[in-house]
Amino acid sequence: MTAPTLPPAQASHVAALHAALTQLDGVILGKGPQIRLAVACLLARGHLLIEDQPGVGKTTLAQALARTCGLHFRRVQFTADLLPADLTGVSVWDASSSAFRFVEGPVFSELLLADEINRATPRTQGALLESMEERQVSEGGVTRPLPEPFFVIATQNPAAFVGTSPLPEAQLDRFLMTVTLGYPDVRAERQLLETGGRSLSVRELPAVLNAGMLIAMQAEVDAVHVAGPLLDYLQLLARATREHPGLTTGLSPRGLLALLAGARAWAYLHGRSMVLPEDVQAVFAPLATHRLTARAGVSVPDVIGRLLRETPIP
Protein backbone atom coordinates (compact mmCIF):
# COMPACT_ATOMS: atom_id res chain seq x y z
CA MET A 1 0.00 0.00 0.00
CA THR A 2 1.34 3.41 -0.97
CA ALA A 3 0.45 6.86 0.29
CA PRO A 4 0.52 10.22 -1.51
CA THR A 5 3.63 12.30 -0.93
CA LEU A 6 3.66 15.67 0.76
CA PRO A 7 3.12 18.91 -1.21
CA PRO A 8 6.27 20.91 -2.09
CA ALA A 9 6.05 23.34 0.85
CA GLN A 10 5.81 20.51 3.35
CA ALA A 11 8.40 18.47 1.46
CA SER A 12 10.96 21.24 2.07
CA HIS A 13 10.22 21.01 5.80
CA VAL A 14 10.69 17.26 5.73
CA ALA A 15 14.01 17.71 3.90
CA ALA A 16 15.19 20.04 6.67
CA LEU A 17 13.94 17.51 9.20
CA HIS A 18 16.02 14.78 7.59
CA ALA A 19 19.09 17.04 7.69
CA ALA A 20 18.47 17.47 11.41
CA LEU A 21 18.20 13.70 11.86
CA THR A 22 21.47 13.17 10.01
CA GLN A 23 23.19 15.60 12.35
CA LEU A 24 21.73 13.86 15.41
CA ASP A 25 22.86 10.47 14.10
CA GLY A 26 26.42 11.79 14.12
CA VAL A 27 26.20 12.62 17.82
CA ILE A 28 24.11 9.79 19.28
CA LEU A 29 25.81 6.82 17.67
CA GLY A 30 23.81 3.71 16.82
CA LYS A 31 20.50 5.03 18.16
CA GLY A 32 18.65 5.95 14.96
CA PRO A 33 15.25 4.49 15.97
CA GLN A 34 15.25 6.22 19.36
CA ILE A 35 16.25 9.55 17.78
CA ARG A 36 13.39 9.32 15.30
CA LEU A 37 10.91 8.47 18.03
CA ALA A 38 12.07 11.50 20.02
CA VAL A 39 11.62 13.79 17.00
CA ALA A 40 8.21 12.26 16.24
CA CYS A 41 7.22 12.89 19.86
CA LEU A 42 8.19 16.56 19.46
CA LEU A 43 6.24 16.86 16.20
CA ALA A 44 3.16 15.34 17.86
CA ARG A 45 3.29 17.96 20.66
CA GLY A 46 3.98 15.25 23.20
CA HIS A 47 6.60 14.71 25.90
CA LEU A 48 9.22 11.98 26.11
CA LEU A 49 10.27 9.76 29.01
CA ILE A 50 13.62 7.98 28.76
CA GLU A 51 14.02 5.07 31.15
CA ASP A 52 17.59 3.86 31.49
CA GLN A 53 20.66 3.72 33.68
CA PRO A 54 23.12 6.64 33.88
CA GLY A 55 25.80 7.05 31.23
CA VAL A 56 24.05 5.83 28.09
CA GLY A 57 23.50 9.23 26.45
CA LYS A 58 20.15 10.49 27.74
CA THR A 59 21.38 14.00 28.54
CA THR A 60 23.41 14.16 25.33
CA LEU A 61 20.32 13.30 23.29
CA ALA A 62 18.32 16.11 24.90
CA GLN A 63 21.09 18.69 24.44
CA ALA A 64 21.78 17.66 20.85
CA LEU A 65 18.09 17.81 19.99
CA ALA A 66 17.78 21.29 21.46
CA ARG A 67 20.84 22.59 19.59
CA THR A 68 19.83 21.00 16.29
CA CYS A 69 16.26 22.30 16.52
CA GLY A 70 17.35 25.79 17.62
CA LEU A 71 15.38 25.63 20.87
CA HIS A 72 16.04 27.35 24.18
CA PHE A 73 17.27 24.59 26.51
CA ARG A 74 17.23 24.26 30.30
CA ARG A 75 18.20 21.30 32.45
CA VAL A 76 16.98 20.57 35.97
CA GLN A 77 18.53 17.89 38.15
CA PHE A 78 15.69 16.41 40.18
CA THR A 79 16.56 15.72 43.81
CA ALA A 80 14.62 14.98 46.97
CA ASP A 81 14.85 18.62 48.13
CA LEU A 82 13.70 20.19 44.83
CA LEU A 83 10.54 22.28 45.39
CA PRO A 84 7.73 22.99 42.90
CA ALA A 85 8.65 26.71 42.90
CA ASP A 86 12.19 25.75 41.84
CA LEU A 87 10.62 24.57 38.59
CA THR A 88 7.76 26.92 37.91
CA GLY A 89 9.10 30.16 39.36
CA VAL A 90 8.20 32.45 42.25
CA SER A 91 7.13 36.03 42.92
CA VAL A 92 9.70 38.16 44.76
CA TRP A 93 9.33 41.63 46.24
CA ASP A 94 10.93 44.34 44.10
CA ALA A 95 11.71 47.26 46.40
CA SER A 96 12.42 49.65 43.52
CA SER A 97 8.90 49.31 42.13
CA SER A 98 7.18 48.42 45.43
CA ALA A 99 5.56 45.43 43.79
CA PHE A 100 5.99 41.71 43.40
CA ARG A 101 7.91 40.56 40.35
CA PHE A 102 7.60 37.06 38.95
CA VAL A 103 10.89 35.24 38.34
CA GLU A 104 10.41 32.50 35.79
CA GLY A 105 11.59 29.01 36.62
CA PRO A 106 13.33 26.64 34.21
CA VAL A 107 9.99 25.27 33.01
CA PHE A 108 9.76 28.44 30.90
CA SER A 109 11.94 26.99 28.16
CA GLU A 110 11.26 25.44 24.79
CA LEU A 111 13.03 22.18 25.63
CA LEU A 112 13.31 21.19 29.26
CA LEU A 113 15.37 18.23 30.44
CA ALA A 114 13.98 16.89 33.71
CA ASP A 115 16.90 14.70 34.74
CA GLU A 116 16.18 11.74 37.05
CA ILE A 117 12.58 12.77 37.61
CA ASN A 118 11.91 9.83 39.89
CA ARG A 119 14.35 11.15 42.50
CA ALA A 120 12.06 14.09 43.35
CA THR A 121 9.08 14.05 45.69
CA PRO A 122 5.61 13.34 44.27
CA ARG A 123 4.64 16.99 44.88
CA THR A 124 7.46 18.29 42.69
CA GLN A 125 6.80 15.63 40.06
CA GLY A 126 3.15 16.71 40.02
CA ALA A 127 4.07 20.37 39.50
CA LEU A 128 6.07 19.52 36.39
CA LEU A 129 3.44 17.14 35.00
CA GLU A 130 0.69 19.72 35.54
CA SER A 131 2.71 22.26 33.52
CA MET A 132 3.22 19.64 30.81
CA GLU A 133 -0.51 18.97 30.57
CA GLU A 134 -1.80 22.54 30.85
CA ARG A 135 1.18 24.21 29.09
CA GLN A 136 0.87 27.09 31.51
CA VAL A 137 1.84 28.07 35.04
CA SER A 138 -0.54 29.66 37.56
CA GLU A 139 1.02 31.62 40.40
CA GLY A 140 -0.33 34.41 42.54
CA GLY A 141 -3.66 34.36 40.70
CA VAL A 142 -1.96 34.97 37.33
CA THR A 143 -1.79 32.37 34.55
CA ARG A 144 1.34 32.50 32.41
CA PRO A 145 1.56 30.50 29.17
CA LEU A 146 4.65 28.43 28.49
CA PRO A 147 6.66 28.92 25.29
CA GLU A 148 5.78 27.28 22.00
CA PRO A 149 6.96 24.75 21.17
CA PHE A 150 7.21 23.27 24.66
CA PHE A 151 8.85 19.86 24.89
CA VAL A 152 9.85 18.00 28.05
CA ILE A 153 12.34 15.15 28.02
CA ALA A 154 12.36 13.42 31.39
CA THR A 155 14.85 10.74 32.37
CA GLN A 156 14.04 8.04 34.88
CA ASN A 157 16.41 5.66 36.63
CA PRO A 158 15.46 2.00 37.08
CA ALA A 159 13.16 1.46 40.07
CA ALA A 160 15.79 -0.70 41.79
CA PHE A 161 18.12 2.31 42.16
CA VAL A 162 18.43 3.84 45.64
CA GLY A 163 16.39 6.99 46.32
CA THR A 164 13.87 6.65 43.51
CA SER A 165 10.15 7.45 43.76
CA PRO A 166 8.29 5.83 40.84
CA LEU A 167 5.77 7.88 38.87
CA PRO A 168 2.14 6.83 39.35
CA GLU A 169 0.32 5.44 36.32
CA ALA A 170 -1.81 8.59 35.92
CA GLN A 171 1.34 10.72 35.70
CA LEU A 172 3.09 8.34 33.34
CA ASP A 173 0.15 8.82 31.00
CA ARG A 174 1.19 12.46 30.55
CA PHE A 175 4.16 11.28 28.49
CA LEU A 176 3.38 10.52 24.86
CA MET A 177 6.20 7.99 24.48
CA THR A 178 8.74 6.06 26.51
CA VAL A 179 12.04 4.91 25.02
CA THR A 180 15.12 3.10 26.28
CA LEU A 181 18.52 3.90 24.82
CA GLY A 182 20.40 0.87 26.12
CA TYR A 183 24.03 0.09 25.43
CA PRO A 184 25.51 1.00 22.03
CA ASP A 185 26.20 -1.76 19.54
CA VAL A 186 29.79 -2.97 19.06
CA ARG A 187 30.50 -0.74 16.06
CA ALA A 188 29.14 2.42 17.69
CA GLU A 189 30.94 1.67 20.93
CA ARG A 190 34.24 1.18 19.07
CA GLN A 191 33.80 4.53 17.31
CA LEU A 192 33.09 6.08 20.69
CA LEU A 193 36.33 4.66 22.07
CA GLU A 194 38.42 5.70 19.08
CA THR A 195 37.23 9.30 19.26
CA GLY A 196 37.15 9.49 23.05
CA GLY A 197 33.53 10.59 22.81
CA ARG A 198 34.55 13.77 21.00
CA SER A 199 33.56 12.91 17.42
CA LEU A 200 31.16 15.85 17.36
CA SER A 201 30.74 18.17 20.33
CA VAL A 202 27.15 19.04 21.23
CA ARG A 203 28.17 22.64 21.88
CA GLU A 204 29.43 22.95 18.30
CA LEU A 205 26.21 21.75 16.66
CA PRO A 206 24.61 24.32 14.34
CA ALA A 207 20.86 24.92 14.41
CA VAL A 208 19.28 23.15 11.44
CA LEU A 209 15.71 24.04 12.43
CA ASN A 210 14.10 26.76 14.52
CA ALA A 211 11.02 27.20 16.70
CA GLY A 212 8.95 28.72 13.91
CA MET A 213 9.67 25.83 11.56
CA LEU A 214 8.76 23.31 14.24
CA ILE A 215 5.44 25.02 14.96
CA ALA A 216 4.66 24.93 11.23
CA MET A 217 5.62 21.25 11.10
CA GLN A 218 3.37 20.46 14.04
CA ALA A 219 0.44 22.06 12.21
CA GLU A 220 1.29 20.00 9.12
CA VAL A 221 1.36 16.83 11.22
CA ASP A 222 -2.17 17.62 12.42
CA ALA A 223 -3.28 17.70 8.78
CA VAL A 224 -1.88 14.27 7.86
CA HIS A 225 -4.84 12.27 6.53
CA VAL A 226 -6.23 9.30 8.43
CA ALA A 227 -8.65 7.05 6.52
CA GLY A 228 -11.65 5.33 8.10
CA PRO A 229 -10.14 1.81 7.95
CA LEU A 230 -7.06 3.09 9.76
CA LEU A 231 -9.27 4.40 12.57
CA ASP A 232 -10.87 0.95 12.67
CA TYR A 233 -7.40 -0.52 13.14
CA LEU A 234 -6.67 1.84 16.03
CA GLN A 235 -9.90 0.83 17.74
CA LEU A 236 -9.17 -2.86 17.23
CA LEU A 237 -5.75 -2.46 18.87
CA ALA A 238 -7.24 -0.55 21.79
CA ARG A 239 -9.96 -3.17 22.28
CA ALA A 240 -7.36 -5.94 22.15
CA THR A 241 -5.44 -4.33 25.03
CA ARG A 242 -8.64 -3.94 27.08
CA GLU A 243 -9.71 -7.54 26.57
CA HIS A 244 -6.33 -9.27 26.93
CA PRO A 245 -6.39 -11.58 29.99
CA GLY A 246 -2.78 -10.74 30.88
CA LEU A 247 -3.45 -7.00 31.25
CA THR A 248 -5.26 -5.32 34.13
CA THR A 249 -5.61 -2.00 32.28
CA GLY A 250 -5.88 -1.36 28.57
CA LEU A 251 -5.36 1.66 26.37
CA SER A 252 -7.59 4.56 27.43
CA PRO A 253 -9.35 6.95 25.03
CA ARG A 254 -6.64 9.53 25.78
CA GLY A 255 -4.02 6.90 24.99
CA LEU A 256 -5.83 6.15 21.73
CA LEU A 257 -5.71 9.83 20.75
CA ALA A 258 -2.01 9.83 21.59
CA LEU A 259 -1.52 6.81 19.33
CA LEU A 260 -3.22 8.67 16.49
CA ALA A 261 -1.00 11.74 17.00
CA GLY A 262 2.14 9.61 17.16
CA ALA A 263 1.23 7.72 13.98
CA ARG A 264 0.60 10.99 12.15
CA ALA A 265 4.00 12.30 13.22
CA TRP A 266 5.72 9.07 12.14
CA ALA A 267 4.05 9.22 8.71
CA TYR A 268 5.10 12.88 8.31
CA LEU A 269 8.65 12.05 9.36
CA HIS A 270 8.79 9.56 6.49
CA GLY A 271 7.44 11.98 3.89
CA ARG A 272 3.83 10.75 3.70
CA SER A 273 0.62 12.77 3.88
CA MET A 274 -1.44 9.73 4.90
CA VAL A 275 -1.10 7.36 7.86
CA LEU A 276 -0.43 3.70 7.05
CA PRO A 277 -0.78 0.69 9.38
CA GLU A 278 3.01 0.42 9.62
CA ASP A 279 3.10 3.94 11.08
CA VAL A 280 0.78 2.82 13.87
CA GLN A 281 2.85 -0.32 14.43
CA ALA A 282 6.11 1.68 14.60
CA VAL A 283 4.93 3.89 17.49
CA PHE A 284 2.60 1.46 19.27
CA ALA A 285 5.16 -0.10 21.63
CA PRO A 286 6.85 3.15 22.84
CA LEU A 287 3.41 4.71 23.24
CA ALA A 288 1.63 1.83 24.97
CA THR A 289 4.29 0.18 27.16
CA HIS A 290 4.03 2.68 30.02
CA ARG A 291 0.23 2.86 29.76
CA LEU A 292 -0.50 -0.86 30.10
CA THR A 293 -0.40 -2.73 33.40
CA ALA A 294 0.24 -6.47 33.34
CA ARG A 295 -0.70 -9.20 35.78
CA ALA A 296 2.00 -11.03 37.73
CA GLY A 297 4.26 -13.07 35.49
CA VAL A 298 3.14 -11.33 32.29
CA SER A 299 5.52 -9.20 30.19
CA VAL A 300 3.98 -6.06 28.67
CA PRO A 301 6.43 -6.02 25.69
CA ASP A 302 5.55 -9.64 24.92
CA VAL A 303 1.85 -8.83 25.00
CA ILE A 304 2.34 -5.83 22.71
CA GLY A 305 4.29 -7.91 20.21
CA ARG A 306 1.56 -10.55 20.16
CA LEU A 307 -1.20 -7.96 19.72
CA LEU A 308 0.58 -6.39 16.76
CA ARG A 309 0.96 -9.81 15.14
CA GLU A 310 -2.56 -11.02 15.80
CA THR A 311 -4.72 -7.89 15.37
CA PRO A 312 -6.10 -7.91 11.81
CA ILE A 313 -5.62 -4.89 9.58
CA PRO A 314 -9.02 -3.87 8.08
Alpha-carbon distance of 175 to 77, in angstroms, equals 19
- The partner residues of 102 in beta bridges, in order of sequence, read 91
CATH fold of the domain at 8-221 = Rossmann fold (3.40.50)
pLDDT at position 3 is 54
pTM beyond 0.85, yes or no = yes
Torsion of CA 137, 143, 144, 149, to 10 degrees: 70
Alpha-carbon distance of 123 to 311, in angstroms, equals 40
Alpha-carbon distance of 95 to 267, in angstroms, equals 54
What homologous superfamily does CATH list for 224-313?
Magnesium chelatase subunit I, C-Terminal domain (1.10.8.80)
pLDDT at position 160 is 56
Residues of the chain where predicted confidence (pLDDT) is lower than 70? 1-6, 55, 158-165, 196-200
pLDDT at position 188 is 75
Domain ranges of the chain: 8-221, 224-313
Alpha-carbon distance of 59 to 286, in angstroms, equals 19
pLDDT at position 165 is 67
